[in-house]
A and B are shown apart, each in its own frame.
Chain A
């Protein structure tokens, strides 16, 4: 087996432990998309056109609430801006690759593929060019494993969604999923303040037209988090840390 295939299979294997958590998430997306009256084919198409779990959930909620398209686009964009950070972090490792590889790998760049790939690249960062040569095949393997799993599990969810009655309150599953995603990331005071501020602003601004409350609450929540983080970092430690 050539080095590129060894890297590819190592990528599949590296992604594997993450997949059991992705399957129920994809299935719930499928079920909740149908309970928001999104046609099955559109719900399935969203998984490859948008291919970003949390924003697909948010789009479903906004569609269910009858939100105008421009607000859906704006909100989804804010949620997906974090991909720029992943893109920046991986850019040095893929910069010598031909363009078609960059287009392909960028399409497969998700939270889950990023986590696995960046640690593989960093493992021997000082290694020579030769060692780095086939590592994009690892990225490809990890990304493809996640992509296929996401497509399959959303398809199963959509199939199941056509079988369950609307009276089961299944739309609540997406609220619960969001709670399960956000709570573990509340590790410090700044993130707790960001969460509470965004939540309270969303309640206060709820009557704003076009569901603008979501974008307004998000921006104010981020600002609150940044302010608390800045205040809680004493100036003298910032100075000390800059000494090598």
Chain B
């Protein structure tokens, strides 16, 4: 129930950002600084999620070889950089994760 309420509030706020200049302030321009800041929003949010997911998989800093998510993630990063292909990044990243998890169990 709380989750539904949260989602409805997020939905209304998201709709409001979409309606903003089309409906509410149709005679206004976006301030330049805000316009420049928009470009960094997805980059900053996604990085702030990716780093902890790779470096702190169990909530503590893990730099060892047994941190399979960090190794698979770095490989995925290289694939994403070279190919710009979402699907390929996913397939190679998951493949590497399974392979590493299996290696850790047999070593």
| Known pairs A77-B17, A99-B23, A225-B43 / 5 extra A-B pairs, C-beta < 8 Å | A85-B30, A87-B18, A109-B18, A180-B76, A222-B40
CA distance A58 to B6 in the complex (A): 13
Q: Is A1 an interface residue (CB 8 A)?
A: no
CA distance A180 to B73 in the complex (A): 10
Listed in ascending order, the chain A residues whose CB lies under 8 Å from chain B are 21, 24-25, 28, 38, 42, 45-46, 49-52, 54-55, 58-59, 61, 63, 69, 72-73, 75-88, 90-91, 94-95, 99, 102-103, 105-107, 109, 169, 172-173, 175-186, 190-191, 194-203, 206, 213-214, 217-219, 221-222, 225-226, 229
Report yes or no: A107 in contact with B44, Cβ–Cβ below 8 A.
Answer: no
5 contacts between A and B (CB under 8 A): A58-B45, A199-B47, A200-B51, A203-B61, A218-B41
Report yes or no: A198 in contact with B42, Cβ–Cβ below 8 A.
Answer: no
Say yes or no: A84-B86 contact (C-beta < 8 A), given A78-B45, A222-B37.
no
Task: Enumerate chain A residues within 8 angstroms of B20, measured Cβ to Cβ.
Answer: 83-84, 87-88
CA distance A58 to B42 in the complex (A): 11
Q: How far, in Å, is A14 (CB) from chain B's closest CB?
A: 19
Report yes or no: A175 in contact with B53, Cβ–Cβ below 8 A.
Answer: yes
A interface, by DSSP: helix, strand, loop or mixed? helix
Report yes or no: A87 in contact with B6, Cβ–Cβ below 8 A.
Answer: no
Report yes or no: B18 in contact with A202, Cβ–Cβ below 8 A.
Answer: no
Q: Is B3 an interface residue (CB 8 A)?
A: yes
Q: Is B77 an interface residue (CB 8 A)?
A: yes
Task: Enumerate chain A residues within 8 angstroms of B36, measured Cβ to Cβ.
Answer: 226, 229
Q: How far, in Å, is A178 (CB) from chain B's closest CB?
A: 5
Q: Is B107 an interface residue (CB 8 A)?
A: no
Q: How far, in Å, is A89 (CB) from chain B's closest CB?
A: 8
Task: Enumerate chain A residues within 8 angstroms of B4, measured Cβ to Cβ.
Answer: 42, 45
CA distance A66 to B85 in the complex (A): 31
